[in-house]
């Protein structure tokens, strides 16, 4: 009888223990609710990290040829710094040079013709003055019956003829001078056309590539190379929408390599996008349908020497404390 009671008590204890374990298990598997643990993902956040791409100020631009022609000489190379106005490429210019010399020769000829016409005009003025004196003298002599009417008429005719010649010569000189101005305009045009055969840097900066060689034929659509103008580099990155409103112009930031803690350089936020974008700047596929909303941010770097254009880095932006 005692043995039977012991077995019953043991079984009862075992069943009670199993029930207790099950209750504990069910209790632990229940998720925590927001009322039990308040969630605030922005609480005490001092920095936000985003992926950024290093770009030159004004982005990478393509330098095109200003005029067409065959390349005679290339005066720049990849990774070479150039100054604004520096000659980059010299094109064949034999025709333009010949046209310029021809126009210069015509100007000299035209100037000589003008000089001769002016000298002739001065000679006519002297002759006219003498003829006028002769006419005046004959007129007085006629009044004293010392000269005939014929001599007076002849002298008056000579004066009229010289006056007409003088007026015609003056008009001719004006035409010659107008022609000289046209030739000077032509020579200016020829010099401009010849000058365009020397392709110059429109900005100061550095060439990232050189896409022309001597002997190539180029036109205005031909790209000489990719170019980065002088100025501080930018880290063009994105900030998740959760922290988008906390990033402002003037926030300090620092740049580090992806997956590393070492600071490469520092900078300042100089641009924040006015809207949220659906896709990442760094999506490698155009058909990527991932639903990401981000705000574009530009950080102007203090030191260009520690980063490479086109590299992807981590941009850590220091947030203002609320």
So what's the pLDDT on residue 220? 86
Closest CA to 87 of 79, 76, 95, 78: 76
* Statement: 61-91+198-229 belongs to CATH 1.10.3720.10: no
Per-residue model confidence (pLDDT) at position 45 = 81
Q: According to the model, what pLDDT value does residue 17 have?
A: 42
Backbone angle region of 125, left / alpha / beta, with phi > 0 → left and psi within -120 to 50 → alpha: alpha
Measured CA distances, 155 to 120, 124, 169, 175 (Å):
21, 15, 21, 31
* pLDDT score, position 267: 96
pLDDT of residue 152: 86
Element (H, E) at 197: none
* pLDDT at residue 140, as a whole number: 86
Q: What is the mean pLDDT of each run of 10 residues along the chain (322 residues)?
A: 38 40 40 39 76 91 90 93 94 94 94 95 94 90 82 90 94 95 93 92 92 93 92 92 91 93 95 83 54 87 92 93 67
What is the C-alpha radius of gyration for the chain, rounded to an integer number of angstroms? 46
Q: What is the pLDDT of residue 291?
A: 60
Query: With 0-12 CB in 10 A as exposed, 13-18 as middle and 19+ as buried, what is 27?
Result: exposed
Handedness of CA 110, 115, 120, 125 (dihedral sign): positive
Nearest Cα neighbor of 47 from 238, 236, 247, 296 is 247
Closest listed residue to residue 194, CA positions, set 35, 72, 55: 72
**pLDDT at res. 285:** 52
Q: Which two tokens stand for residue 113?
A: 């013709």
Q: What is the pLDDT of residue 283?
A: 57
CATH number of 47-57+231-318: 2.40.30.170
What pLDDT, on the 0 to 100 scale, is given for residue 232? 94
Alpha helices in 89-213 (DSSP H): 94-143, 149-195
Q: What is the H or E stretch that residue 298 is in?
A: strand 294-301
């Amino acid at each position: 009888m005692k043995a039977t009671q012991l077995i019953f008590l043991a079984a009862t204890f075992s069943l009670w223990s199993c029930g207790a374990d099950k209750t504990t298990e069910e209790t632990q598997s229940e998720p925590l609710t927001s009322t039990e643990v308040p969630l605030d993902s922005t609480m005490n956040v001092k920095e936000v990290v985003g992926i950024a791409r290093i770009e030159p100020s004004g982005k990478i631009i393509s330098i095109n040829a200003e005029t067409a022609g065959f390349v005679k000489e290339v005066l720049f190379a990849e990774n070479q710094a150039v100054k604004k106005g520096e000659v980059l490429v010299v094109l064949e210019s034999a025709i333009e040079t010949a046209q310029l010399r021809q126009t210069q020769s015509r100007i000299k000829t035209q100037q000589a013709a003008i000089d001769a016409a002016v000298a002739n005009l001065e000679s006519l003025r002297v002759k006219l003055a003498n003829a006028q004196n002769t006419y005046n003298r004959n007129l007085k002599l006629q009044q004293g019956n010392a000269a005939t009417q014929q001599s007076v008429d002849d002298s008056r005719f000579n004066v009229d003829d010289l006056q007409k010649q003088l007026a015609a010569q003056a008009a001719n000189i004006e035409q010659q001078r107008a022609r000289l101005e046209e030739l000077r305009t032509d020579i200016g045009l020829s010099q401009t056309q010849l000058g365009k055969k020397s392709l110059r840097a429109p900005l100061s900066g550095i060439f990232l590539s050189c896409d022309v060689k001597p002997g190539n034929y180029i036109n205005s659509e031909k790209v000489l190379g990719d170019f980065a103008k002088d100025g501080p580099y930018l880290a063009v990155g994105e900030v998740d929408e959760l922290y988008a409103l906390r990033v402002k112009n003037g926030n300090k930031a620092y740049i580090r390599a992806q997956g590393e803690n070492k600071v490469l350089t520092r900078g300042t936020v100089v641009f924040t996008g006015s809207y949220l974008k659906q896709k990442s700047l760094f999506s490698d596929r155009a058909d990527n349908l991932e639903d990401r909303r981000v705000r574009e941010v530009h950080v102007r770097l203090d030191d260009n020497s520690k980063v490479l254009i086109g590299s992807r880095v981590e941009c850590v932006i220091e947030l203002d404390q609320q």
